[in-house]
Amino acid sequence: MMWHSFAFKATPRIRISLPHHPSGVRLVRWPLAVSLTVLATACEPPGSAQQADLILHSAQVTTMEPTLASASAVAVQDGRIVRVGSDQEVLELRGPNTRVIDAAGHRLIPGLNDSHLHAVRGGRFYNLELRWDGVPTLGRALDMVRDQAARTPDGHWVRVIGGWSPQQFREQRMPTVEELNAAAPDTPVFVLYLYSRGFLNQAALAALGIDADTVAPMGGRFERGPDGNPTGVLLAEPNPTILYRTIGALPGMSLDEQINSTRHFFRELNRFGLTSAIDAGGGGHMFPENYEATKTLAQRSELTVRISYYLFPQRPGQELKDFQNWMAANEVGQDNARLLANGYALEGAGEFLVWSAGDFENFMAPRPRLGERRNWAGELTEVTRLLVENRWPFRIHATYGESISQIFDVFDKVNKEIPFNGLRWALDHAETISSRDIERIKALGGGVAIQNRMAFAGEYFVERYGKEAAAIAPPIRGLVESGVPLGVGTDGTRVSSYNPWLSLYWLVTGKTVAGTPLYGPENTLTRAEALRLYTIGSAWFSGEEELKGRLIPGQYADMTLLTEDYFAVSEEEIREIESILTIVDGEVVYAAEEFAGLVEPLPAVSPEWSPVARYGGYWSPSANR
């Protein structure tokens, strides 16, 4: 069976009673047979199971299950793990058709699961973007712009859309418009830094027709020179609409090219050991039309990352109508039986519910003040009421504690009218959440998804709010100890890099990508705690914590073999880890180095002038000579 032809095994959703959940009831994706077989399979004597489809042996296996703490081999059948143990115990399931892989002592962990990644949108644009993720110097980054400008045909742009921080560069600064003009005098260039600011070279200003008379959208600003003309610097203060609109004005790709782009992006995610992602929608990303590439791959059984997605309304003031229309045409938890079986599922609403309650995260500008916005609470109340009435899970973007408290006032009001009663909902980001509001989340049965945005903008947070505030932004240890469901991720591809090991590095060390210390030991995690949040913790946000995140019998056969031992390398080396072998649903979807022959190459990158064809994605010295 080829990697690109597998289908995720069907996992119909049913309601089951789980005594450890406060509500006693929750919606999970659960194979009907697993509830009867997990315990029996875990305890079965050697030789009693059928022959395995796949066996990995001679590995250092991290099961994330205390009762299976010591293991060196894993057996897989029909996309599920059927045995974990010693080489001798597991190799007893080898048959004439079993694929046997010698892991050569590498560390094997459950597949990573990003609880907040803009994966569908990332795939839609990946082949058009020049990635500065991990590039060590600004000089090299500008050389990449110069080279790509020479390769880019007329009518197209060079675009660097997030995933980098000026502090990662040896020069410790952002590019200037003058440097972009010198690198690409005739080709339009747009460089985005988080959702804080953007840079347009002179050719880009001309292509968009931006001049002294152009009016910026509300909440944004064009930086202007003494003559009143735009310099090319776009400022979100703090509303990012000016940045969204610029991205939206750039030329796109055909559907076939988007499909090719998405395949290459998901292979890139597999490169870092990612096997699942919970997609948070995103600005400038319309449903259903902008989801066609990922949906097509699901229909073809070609997904290599399990995708659970939330719907993000794009029309300010029309959010209630959009959700009503979506509810009439879509059922939460499934797109249809085939797509669900192939690892593609609609989860609910968010991460924005209404634009008027947007709590934008630009640490280079003052925080937004919800109380100054007309009828934000009324709009949020209407949408929340609709979601709770229809039992649609939801998540909401909120950065600052002041905004979070006001948002929770709305949730408390709705809960008194229509009890949440175990409905899954989550808060995204939560950098300055208070202890009181963590307890309010717990009382309403919600979860929190945090990301390493501070690793990419922590220096600016310190500059504006001080070291003391930054030391608990977010309060990672407090969230862990509260018992609130907690997942982690990246918020890639624009606010942060999609590389999960940067997020794990941040959780363990408390440092930014430049190595700037933010947190002391009281707000960092052990390596095991951080990995647990990136596996079992993140699975909660799609109701799959009983199916993902551990290497034990009955769970999905999603796992990754690492280039270096996460538990043995130095803290600084954590961010250099990649996958050497990634397996999803029991199939090899990524392989490198000595395992490279185990996976088929993807079709050539399209269009052929794509930056990905020249540089790949995340910085690799071997691909950037």
pLDDT digits (tens, 9 = 90+) for 482-498: 999 999 999 999 999 99
CB atoms within 10 A of CB 233: 17
Whether 32 shows a pLDDT value over 60: the answer reads no
Cis status, amide bond into 419, omega within 30 of 0: no
Cis status, amide bond into 288, omega within 30 of 0: yes
> Could you tell me which residues come within 8 angstroms of residue 225 by beta carbon, excluding any fewer than 6 positions away?
231
Token duo for residue 167: 């502090």
pLDDT at 182: 98
Spatial separation of the C-alpha atoms in residues 87 and 84, rounded to whole Å: 9
pLDDT at 621: 76
Contact by Cβ (8 Å): 451, 491? yes
pLDDT digits (tens, 9 = 90+) for 544-596: 999 999 999 999 999 999 999 999 999 999 999 999 999 999 999 999 999 99
In 3-state terms, what secondary structure has residue 520? coil
Contact by Cβ (8 Å): 442, 484? yes
> Could you tell me which residues come within 8 angstroms of residue 67 by beta carbon, excluding any fewer than 6 positions away?
none
Whether 46 shows a pLDDT value over 90: the answer reads no
Only one residue has tokens 């979100």, namely: 236
Token duo for residue 572: 């600084």
pLDDT at 4: 41
Query: How buried is 43 (Cβ within 10 angstroms: 0-12 exposed, 13-18 middle, 19+ buried)?
Result: exposed
pLDDT at 68: 83
Chain-centre distance for alpha carbon 54: 28
pLDDT at 128: 98
In the sheet where 60-61 sits, what is the strand order? 60-61, 107-110, 559-562, 579-584, 587-591
pLDDT at 624: 61
Please, what is the average pLDDT of the chain?
91
pLDDT digits (tens, 9 = 90+) for 3-24: 344 556 644 433 222 333 332 2
CB atoms within 10 A of CB 565: 14
pLDDT at 334: 57
pLDDT at 21: 32
pLDDT at 8: 64
Spatial separation of the C-alpha atoms in residues 466 and 538, rounded to whole Å: 30
pLDDT digits (tens, 9 = 90+) for 444-481: 999 999 999 999 999 999 999 999 999 999 999 999 99
Write the DSSP assignment of 22-62 as a string of letters: TTSEEEEE--TTHHHHHHHHHHPPTT-SPPPSEEEES-EE-
Whether 339 shows a pLDDT value over 90: the answer reads no
217-223 CB contacts, 8 Å cutoff, 24+ apart: 217/241, 217/242, 217/245
pLDDT at 333: 75
Lowest-confidence pick of 7-21, 237-251, 397-411, 416-430: 7-21
- Give the chain's length: 625
Whether 515 shows a pLDDT value over 50: the answer reads yes
pLDDT digits (tens, 9 = 90+) for 138-172: 999 999 999 999 999 999 999 999 999 999 999 99
pLDDT digits (tens, 9 = 90+) for 296-327: 999 999 999 999 999 999 999 999 999 999 99
Answering whether pTM is above 0.75, one says yes
Query: Per-residue pLDDT averaged across 82-91, rounded?
Result: 98
Write the DSSP assignment of 334-393 as a string of letters: BS-HHHHHTTEEEEEE-S-S-GGG-----TTSPPP-GGGSTTHHHHHHHHHHHHHHTT--
Whether 30 shows a pLDDT value over 70: the answer reads no
Query: Per-residue pLDDT averaged across 508-524, rounded?
Result: 97
Query: Per-residue pLDDT averaged across 382-391, rounded?
Result: 98
